[in-house]
Structure formats: structure tokens, C-alpha cells
Amino acid sequence: MIEWANTIVQGILTGGLYAMFAAGLAIIFGVMRLVNITHGDLIVLAAFIAMVVIETTGFNPFLSLIIVLPIMFVIGYMLQRGILNYTLGDDLLPPLLVTFGLSIVIQNVLLEVFSADSQRLKAGAIETSSIQLVDGLSIGIFPLITLVTAIAMIVGLQQLFNLTRLGRAFRATSDDATTAQLMGINHKHIFGLAMGLALGLVAIAGVLMAVRSNFDPSIGPTKLLYAFEAVIIGGLGSLWGTLVGGIILGVAQNIGAKIDPGWQILAGHIAFLIVLVFKPNGLFPRTRDD
């Protein structure tokens, strides 16, 4: 019994990381209606940037974020203003193709610069320390930090979207970019800020992922898949849904691994398919009146 409780608790903690992968993707889709195939590679890119920052400055991974986060924000803004804004329109295919191409470009550039070697960021004792709740059930401090960060991220985003001028502009532009321009909102700038914000979240997710597990230039698509599944399980447009989606995915994977180690990934995909069959719009789809 305690073993199963442990499996579920560890799954919830893993879900925090998946929710973090997914939050950026949810913003990009929510504001721009853009399906960002390159999302996973951007997570890996953030991890590599953090690696360079750490090697150069000697910062620990958490501190490296004060440099990595603004860099990713700027990359996001420029990517959106310089390339992706030109792909947006009624047709969903151009952004899909362009971000697919970008994904290949980023993977190959990372491969060229950093080689295919597996890397990991070291955060010291915090990586292995844990709190024992009861006999046979303990919580890793680092996974707990990841989950708490994911929750804080979603609370922060919710506040940003609901209570601030920028948040209203995000929502208005997402509803109707043409009418938003009549409010004096420069939708191209807003899209740039949304992508910058999403990549800021990607920076945090990338660094936490890189402390938790090995990474190399080829793992982006897997991270993208987890992010997609978390977003779709949660329901497009719902930030809290994204957290729930990430947790469901994490718990399913851990239960799968408990039954048979080879089932870990498959169990996550099966959970995703089950949700799709019974709730095609996800568990908490955003309702729209238009």
C-alpha cells in the first residue's frame, strides 16, 4: 500500500516538471493560436545556455537563471517578431512547418556546438536530499521545489492574465487580434511579449530539467510530446488544467513504471489517449462565447 502511495506521490512531483514544460506551450497556443513544434528544443536550448553560463560564471543552476531567463525572453521576442508573426493567419499549417524547421535547425546547431554527449547540471546536495514522511515514503527536495515552482508559476501567470493591463491585452489579442488593434494594442508586440514570457518559463523548466535528468541535443521532441500531452489533457487555454495534465501524466508514468519499468512512457501515452477518448477537449477546456 505504502509503495503505491509512494508511486503516486513521486508521479505528482514529476508532474510538476511536465506542467512547467506545458505552461509555456499553453501560453503560446492560448495567445497566438500557434502550435510550437520547437518548444522541446527550446527547453533543451535553455539547458545548454545555462550550462555555458554556469561554466563561465561559476553560478549554481538556480542563480544562472538571472542570466538565462532574460536571454530566453529576448530570444522569444525576436523569434516571434522576426519569424513567427509572419506565419500567423487563418491557416495553421505555416507556423507548424516553420517551427518544425526551426526544431531541426536548433537540434543541429546544438549538436554541432555541444556534440551529442549527454550533459547534466549539478546543483549539489539538494539533488539527493529528501524528507521522509513515513517509513517507505519520502519526498525529494528538488522534485518538491520543481512542483512548488510549477504551482507558483501558474499562480503568477493567472494573476498576470487576470489582473494586469498586459494580461488583459494578451486575452483581448487572443480573442480578436484585429479588434485589439482598435484598442491601441500593437498585436505584433503583444505576440512578441507572449513568446518572450513563454520562453522565460521555458528557461526555468529547462534548468530544472537539466538538474533532474541528463540532456542532449536530441531530447527536445520527447519534452515537446510531454508538454503537448499535459496541455491537451488539461484542456487548451486552462493554466490550472495544464498543471493537472502534467500531474496525470506524471502519475500515469510512475504507475506504469511500477507495474513494469518498460511501461513508464507507454502508460503516460495511454492516459493521454483515455482522456482524449472521453474528454476530447481536455478536462478543463476554456469556454468561449464566440
Partner 1 sequence: MSVLEIENMTAFYSDFQALFGVSLNIKKGETVAAIGANGAGKSTFLRSITGLVKNNADTFLYNGETLTGKVASDIVGLGIAMVPEGRKLFPSLSVEENLIIGAYQQRPGNWTLDRVYQMFPKLEQRKDIAGTALSGGEQQMVAIGRALMSNPDMLLCDELSLGLAPIIIKDIYSALPSIKAEGVSLLVVEQDINQALEIADRIYCFQEGRISLTGKPEDLTKDQIATAYFGR
Site of interaction with partner 1 (CB under 8 A): 165, 168-169, 171-172, 174-176, 178-187, 286, 288-290
Q: Which of 241, 184, 212, 223 is nearest to 27 (CA)?
A: 241
CB of 180 vs partner 1, minimal distance in Å:
8
Give the residue with the Cβ less far from partner 1, 149 or 173.
Answer: 173
Minimum Å gap between C-beta 172 and partner 1 is 5
Question: In the numeric block, which cell numbers belong to residue 263?
Answer: 511501461
Nearer to partner 1, 130 or 186 (CB): 186
Nearer to partner 1, 130 or 179 (CB): 179
Residue 234 CA to residue 275 CA, distance in Å, equals 9
* Phi, psi (degrees; rounded to nearest 5) at 137: -135, 110
For residues 77 and 272, which CB has a smaller minimum distance to partner 1 in the complex? 77
Q: How far is the CB of 95 from partner 1 (least distance, A)?
A: 21
Q: Compare residues 112 and 290 and give the one whose CB is closer to partner 1.
A: 290
State the minimum distance, in angstroms, from the CB of residue 170 to partner 1.
Answer: 10
**Distance in Å, CB of 160 to partner 1, minimum:** 14
Count Cβ atoms within 10 A of the Cβ of residue 168 and give its class: 0-12 exposed, 13-18 middle, 19 or more buried: middle
Task: Decide: 38 and 25 in contact? Cβ < 8 Å.
Answer: no
- Give the span between the Cα atoms of 10 and 188, in whole angstroms: 41
Helix (H) or strand (E) holding 208: helix 187-212
Q: CA-CA distance, 183 to 279, in Å (whole number)? A: 36
